[in-house]
């Protein structure tokens, strides 16, 4: 059973379609990064998954249950950030955690949870009114982790966190995944998404423009990596050998006069770099090389630009 599965999921507000026929599938033990520019429809999608708003069309099942039937039965199996309930300035972080553990009937130690998100023993006993933005965010993360949920839905989880907090969040996301939870999270910070996601979806104007693992997304939209290789000589045989490699999408020679010639090779799959080096070394000596991997940022930009064409 998938943790999340949507078919043609659609939301309209009046005449505006803000989420348009999206098909998503997220499995247990998988981190899915949900990206998109401002106003793309990410929060609306998340709100539908959590049964906060009703889809206009299509279906969504979360932990096997149709979202239109409500989330009461599965609520305790989903950790959400930010949760709908607010933090109370006069209560300590510890009281928030204890209250949430009790009301969920969950097992959990508030101090261990606080420690996991880097809230020190003295801090967790202080009133939340005295907390910094980052401390409040750490507390919200701890609240989302209560009861070892099967699904974590994190909307902009790194917001307000310092670099140490962001590193900790990354560790927590990976630990939760390794425990077998599905993690669905939206973020504008592409490097963080790149670091932790098994698969990524890019939403633009309500449409899921791209979805897949990072390598697949990179190769689907152009070269995953561009190699510049300096050799002592370039022969016809060498070029044929390089061009015959499946993942090579482009190969050009630049003859820089008295300097050694170099090859520019575009690859749709970064793992094929070794094949290129082997093919070249069969006919020439490699003097030097550079390899420029495509970033998620360039994939994202391409997805957004294509959509606006």
Ligand X SMILES: Nc1ncnc2c1ncn2[C@@H]1O[C@H](COP(=O)(O)OP(=O)(O)OP(=O)(O)O)[C@@H](O)[C@H]1O
> Which residues contact ligand X (rule: CB under 6 A)?
13, 18, 36, 38-44
Q: How far is the CB of 236 from ligand X (least distance, A)?
A: 52
Q: How far is the CB of 156 from ligand X (least distance, A)?
A: 7
CB nearer to ligand X: pick between 18 and 146: 18
Q: How far is the CB of 18 from ligand X (least distance, A)?
A: 3
Q: How far is the CB of 13 from ligand X (least distance, A)?
A: 4
Q: How far is the CB of 181 from ligand X (least distance, A)?
A: 23
Q: How far is the CB of 48 from ligand X (least distance, A)?
A: 10
CB nearer to ligand X: pick between 39 and 129: 39
CB nearer to ligand X: pick between 197 and 247: 197
In angstroms, the CA 101 to CA 54 distance is: 28
CB nearer to ligand X: pick between 13 and 88: 13
Q: Are 233 and 299 in contact (CB under 8 A)?
A: no
In angstroms, the CA 17 to CA 11 distance is: 6
Q: How far is the CB of 66 from ligand X (least distance, A)?
A: 21
CB nearer to ligand X: pick between 21 and 116: 21
CB nearer to ligand X: pick between 20 and 270: 20
CB nearer to ligand X: pick between 43 and 192: 43
């Amino acid at each position: 059973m998938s943790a999340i599965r949507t078919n043609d999921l659609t939301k309209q507000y009046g005449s505006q379609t803000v989420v348009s026929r999206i098909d998503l599938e997220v499995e247990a033990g998988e981190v899915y990064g949900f990206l998109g520019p401002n106003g793309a429809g990410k929060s609306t999608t998340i709100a539908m998954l959590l049964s906060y708003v009703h889809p206009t069309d299509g279906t969504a099942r979360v932990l096997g249950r149709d979202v239109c039937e409500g989330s009461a039965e599965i609520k305790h199996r989903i950790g959400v950030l930010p949760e709908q309930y607010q933090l109370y300035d006069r209560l300590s972080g510890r009281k928030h955690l204890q209250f949430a553990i009790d009301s969920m009937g969950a097992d959990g130690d508030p101090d261990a949870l606080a420690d996991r998100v880097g809230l020190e023993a003295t801090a967790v006993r202080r009133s939340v009114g005295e907390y910094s933005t980052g401390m409040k965010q750490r507390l919200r993360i701890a609240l989302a982790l209560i009861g070892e949920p099967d699904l974590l839905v994190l909307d902009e989880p790194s917001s307000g966190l310092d670099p140490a907090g962001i590193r900790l969040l990354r560790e927590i996301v990976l630990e939760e995944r390794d425990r077998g939870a599905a993690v669905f999270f939206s973020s504008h910070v592409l490097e963080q998404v790149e670091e932790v996601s098994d698969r990524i979806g890019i939403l633009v104007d309500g449409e899921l423009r791209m979805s897949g693992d990072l390598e697949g997304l990179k190769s689907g939209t152009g070269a995953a990596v561009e190699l510049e290789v300096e050799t002592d000589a370039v022969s016809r045989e060498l070029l044929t050998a390089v061009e015959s490699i499946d993942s090579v999408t482009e190969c050009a020679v630049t003859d820089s006069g008295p300097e050694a010639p170099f090859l520019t090779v575009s690859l749709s799959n970064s793992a094929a770099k070794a094949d290129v080096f082997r093919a070249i070394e069969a006919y020439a000596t490699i003097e030097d090389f550079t390899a420029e991997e495509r970033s998620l940022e360039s994939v994202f930009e391409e997805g957004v630009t294509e959509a606006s064409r």
